[in-house]
Amino acid sequence: MTKIKFGWNVSTAASNYMTGATFTEQILSVLNDIHAFYDSVWIYDHFHAPPFLADDYPRLEAWTTTAYLARAFPNLYFGNIVLGQSYRNPALVAKMVATLQALTNGKAILGIGAGWMESEYHAYGYEFPKPSVRVKQLEEAVQIIRMMWREKRATFEGDYYQVKGALCEPKPDPIPPIMIGGNGEKLTLRVVAKYADWWNGLSLDAEGMAHKLDILKVHCDDVGRDYDDITKTYFGIISIAETEAQAKQITSASPRRDTTDFEGTPAQVIDQLQAYVDLGFSYFMLDFNDFPNSDGSQLFAEEVIPAFS
């Protein structure tokens, strides 16, 4: 039986912090409470707050935050939901992840995607090409990263990225899983079928995810990939409390009230998660709506995680 694992996602949607220092204190406080119960921690890769928050809300840079927290909580794995491939040269990403893997004794997971938040691309001076180009860039980036982790020197000549004899020493040991995030059926899921160890789906109900999995199966057949070799993961926003009314209140107070995936008592959340487990999802990354409180994260750890152990 496949073990179901759970990761805690560093939230960006609390309404009661306005300074970076306070935000950092809140993250550390919650992790101190819950780190023994979860398998991993996940950090968004964005420079600006999402559209539903004010522009001046704190947003920690993803990779710096990942490295800092990985040192503070050595029992946890660390990854990103997900690195925007446009923001860092892929050869540099290969070296960064390999270095983190060495410094954490194998606790790194590479989450990467094509990128989507157009406003921050323009604000930071990055080009924002059409989706098909961004996905092609992602495909080239993943090939370079895999090559640098496996070969003595990497040489790759793509339409968008090139490396010539690039070294990556020490090699990551073990080689981290590459998780590609995104739901795009024609392009992204095909890249998943070709190159990903893990796929990260998001923001769809179980019926919608079932459809995406059917598409992924077709792509796997087309490229000669064993569909079962790909770990299916799901990112979700959650409100959990002792009573259904309390959970609904948490959701209604959140700026993400319209995008909450799981809501209710522990028993209700177990049923909601089980629908995804039945589809083959075995890893869940969860962003708790009651952050900076740790009540929801702790309740989930105490009453939901054991149900899937």
pLDDT tens figures, 276-302: 999 999 999 999 999 999 999 999 999
239 with 273: CB under 8 angstroms? Answer: no
Greatest extent of the chain over all pairs of C-alpha atoms, in Å: 59
Burial class (CB in 10 A: 0-12, 13-18, 19+), 89: middle
Band (pLDDT 50/70/90 cuts) for residue 11 is: confident
pLDDT tens digit sequence for 61-73: 999 999 999 999 9
Can you give the pLDDT at residue 53?
72
Can you give the pLDDT at residue 167?
98
Per-residue pLDDT for 22 more than 90?
Answer: no
123 with 47: CB under 8 angstroms? Answer: yes
- Residues with Cβ within 8 Å of residue 234, at least 6 apart in sequence: 200, 201, 202, 209, 276, 281, 283, 284, 285
Domain coordinates of the chain in residue numbers?
5-308
191-227 b/e (C-beta count within 10 Å ≥ 16 → b): bbbbbbbbbbbbebebeebeebbebbbebbeeeebee
More confident of the two residues 126 and 55: 126
- Residues with Cβ within 8 Å of residue 54, at least 6 apart in sequence: none
Query: What pTM does this model have?
Result: 0.96
pLDDT tens digit sequence for 86-116: 999 999 999 999 999 999 999 999 999 999 9
Handedness of CA 223, 228, 230, 232 (dihedral sign): positive
The CATH number of 5-308, from 2.70.70.10, 3.40.140.10, 3.20.20.30, 3.40.640.10, is 3.20.20.30
Task: Name the one residue in this structure whose structure tokens are 């522990």.
Answer: 266
